[in-house]
Amino acid sequence: MTNIVLSQVSKRYGEQPVVNSLDLDMADGEFVVLVGPSGCGKSTTLRMLAGLEDVSSGTIHIGGRDVTMLQPGERNIAMVFQNYALYPHKTVYENLAFGLRMRKVPAAEIESKVRWAAQMLSIDALLPRKPRQLSGGQMQRVSLGRALVRSPEVFLLDEPLSNLDAKLRIRMREEIAQLHKRVGTNMVYVTHDQVEAMTLGDRIVIMNQGQVQQIGRPLDVYDAPANLFVAGFIGAPEMNLVRGNVQDQGGRLMFVAPGMSLGLPAPIPAGVRAGKEIVLGIRPEHAGMASDGIAAATVVLVEQLGAQTLSVLELDHGKGSEQSAATRVRVLTGRRNDVGVGDRVRLTLDMSRIHLFDAESGVNLKLS
């Protein structure tokens, strides 16, 4: 059984923290994705797990074994890099076999493992070729195969698809997911692409500025973001975030923002009171347009996406709000050909799907 446990793992360069007190417990055979913007610490975390970076503090256990101070070759891990890192003068077969030969694996076993990996990745016909004769997707398969033949306890993948075009990236994403199901080995995958994270991971770890923001199953994180950062980062198109304040109108708590005034549905989260500044979040697919909507608006942008239509609405300013920035809301609907720029509409919101965030701390008040 190969579980992976990172306990209070930190990395500092001098006084500069890069990863701060990270705790993560991965079950045997789990696919975990580290996701976040550039510089958030996700690749550094992967490199510490691989042994390519020293840990400033904390411990790393793989399969119950403390590997914190072990060299990469002693950890029984395999890493797949963004740039493939293939030997250009060697054939695909030789690239796959090289690591095994360096460990003096018997020739018959090398042959068996290389053929098995090539068949699993559908690169049998490519074995005589050299990297310059391969496409980007084929080179990525070879890179995966080189890791696969080692039969590691853990696969570490560092943005392996970022050099591929969009169509090929989708296909390779599917192949990596299928590979994980076939081999059942732990995989830790780093990406800045939240779509990759959502589609690949059993769980995703969202990071920002060296801190873990939230860990959870993709749909759980999507439906219940822990804070404003997660809400804005996870989802395409991203969640609408409207800043306003709470007002008591006749004993009812209302959320008020430029062009918008709506009653807060029960149960009201603890801490939400009159005078408090909060941020209302609603995903574009939970907003709409109808004659009985809560706010008047003008359509300022329409994007036809094929099966769906994304419309951007600018809400009418109320009295005394001429100096305030206009409130814009993205609305994602089924395919609509009846909406155009300049149209006057009314905004609707699914009030059961709104989120309320503390404007200062960013915390999701409905989860606190």
Find the CATH number of the domain harbouring 161: 3.40.50.300
Cα–Cα distance, 26 to 343 (Å, whole number): 50
Question: Quick one: 165 and 225 in the same domain?
Answer: yes
Looking at the chain, the whole-number percentage of residues with pLDDT higher than 70 is 98
- Only one residue has tokens 């749909």, namely 219
HSE-CB of 361 using CA atoms within 13 angstroms: 11
Domain co-membership, 273 together with 334: yes
CB 356 within 8 A of CB 213: no
The single-letter DSSP state of residue 192 is S
pLDDT tens-digit series, residues 131-145: 999 988 888 889 889
Instruction: Provide the CB-side half-sphere exposure for 233 (13 A, CA).
Output: 27
In a domain, 301, yes or no: yes
Q: Which pLDDT band holds residue 326 (cuts at 50, 70, 90)?
A: confident
On whether both 147 and 252 belong to a single domain, the answer is no
Residue 319 pLDDT more than 60?
no
225/135 Cα distance (integer angstroms) = 39
Residue 365, in any domain of the structure: no
pLDDT at 324: 60
**How high is the pLDDT of residue 281?**
97
Q: What is the pLDDT of residue 136?
A: 85
Q: How confident is the model at residue 56 (pLDDT cuts 50, 70, 90)?
A: very high
Residue-wise pLDDT tens digits, 196-214: 999 999 999 999 999 999 9
Rounding to the nearest 10 degrees, give the CA dihedral for residues 159, 161, 164, 166: -110
Residue 135 structural domain = 4-233
Which pLDDT value is given to residue 322? 52
Please tell me whether residues 29 and 118 are part of one structural domain: yes
Tokens of 36: 């976040």
**Residue 251 and residue 313 in one domain:** yes
Which of the listed residues 184, 206, 233 is the one where a domain comes to its end? Answer: 233
Q: Within this chain, do residues 146 and 10 fall inside the same structural domain, yes or no?
A: yes
The predicted structure's pLDDT at residue 171: 84
Which of 233, 259, 288 is the endpoint of a domain?
A: 233
Query: Each residue of 165-191: pLDDT tens digit?
Result: 888 888 888 888 988 998 889 999 999
pLDDT in tens, 82-98: 777 889 999 999 999 99
* Alpha carbons 192 and 198: distance in angstroms, whole number: 11
The total of structural domains in the chain comes to: 2
Give a yes or no: residue 363 inside a domain.
no
Looking at residue 159, the DSSP 8-state letter turns out to be: S
Mean pLDDT of all residues in 11-23: 93
Q: What is the CATH number of the domain that holds 300?
A: 2.40.50.140
Q: At what angle do helices 92-102 and 136-148 cross, to 10 degrees?
A: 20
The model's confidence at residue 30, banded by pLDDT at 50, 70 and 90, is: very high
Average pLDDT over residues 64-86: 89
Percent over 90 (pLDDT), the chain: 72
Residues 181 and 255 in one domain: no
Q: Give the DSSP per-residue string, 11-45.
A: EEETTEEEEEEEEEEE-TT-EEEEE-STTSSHHHH
Q: What is the pLDDT of residue 328?
A: 94
Please tell me whether residues 306 and 174 are part of one structural domain: no
**Each residue of 275-317: pLDDT tens digit?**
999 999 999 999 999 999 999 999 999 999 999 999 999 999 7
pTM for the full predicted model: 0.90
Predicted pLDDT at 169: 85
Residue type, 240: N
Q: Of 264, 237, 258, 231, which Cα lies nearest the Cα of 325?
A: 258
What is the DSSP-derived secondary structure letter of residue 363?
B
| 287-304 b/e (C-beta count within 10 Å ≥ 16 → b) | bbbeeebbbebebeebee
197's enclosing H/E stretch is: helix 194-200
In the prediction, which pLDDT does 356 show?
96
Residue 367 pLDDT class (50, 70, 90 cuts): confident
Q: Tell me which of 211, 233, 255 is where a domain ends.
A: 233
Alpha-carbon distance 296 to 315, whole Å? Answer: 6
- Do 48 and 9 meet the contact criterion of CB atoms below 8 Å apart? yes
Residue 367 domain-assigned? no
